[in-house]
Amino acid sequence: MSRKALEERNKKRIRLVAKWAPERARLHSVLKDPNISEEDFYKAQDQLNRLPRDSSPVRVRNRCAITSRPRAYLRHFGICRNLFKEWALDGKIPGVTKSSW
């Protein structure tokens, strides 16, 4: 089990990403515009730097939905490899079978 504080910090980051996503998208579109003036570019860049660090999507850590394990996370299933293997052998994941049987 992971520490509760790490789980809560990740949940906070997820909330911040959702809250600031429209503003980040607007600023990124301004920065990617080739016809923008240099002054507006630097202004948008400064505004983007002033946003909270944790509102960046890359700071969110993928974690197992059941055990909150941060490593060996399988995106397609949303769980860690340990749980995946256990559930697959028990037949709890439809369409997944052991290949060597």
Q: Print the domain residue range for 7.
A: 1-61
Q: Which two tokens stand for residue 52?
A: 């909270």
Give the CA distances from residue 20 to residues 40, 86, 93, in Å, rounded to whole numbers and listed in that order: 20, 38, 35
CATH number of 84's domain: 4.10.830.10
The reply to whether 48 and 95 lie within a common domain is no
- How many domains are contained in the chain? 2
The reply to whether 99 and 69 lie within a common domain is yes
The reply to whether 88 and 99 lie within a common domain is yes
- Phi/psi region, residue 7 (left: phi>0; alpha: psi -120 to 50; beta: rest), is alpha
The reply to whether 34 and 71 lie within a common domain is no
pLDDT value for 1: 53
For range 76-99, the mean pLDDT: 91
The 10s digit of each residue's pLDDT in 29-69 is 999 999 999 999 999 999 999 999 999 999 999 999 999 89
pLDDT value for 28: 96
**Counts for the chain of helices (H) and strands (E), in that order:** 3, 2
pTM score over 0.85: no
Residue with tokens 């002054």: 39
The reply to whether 13 and 52 lie within a common domain is yes
CATH number of 31's domain: 1.10.287.1480
Q: Which two tokens stand for residue 44?
A: 């948008």
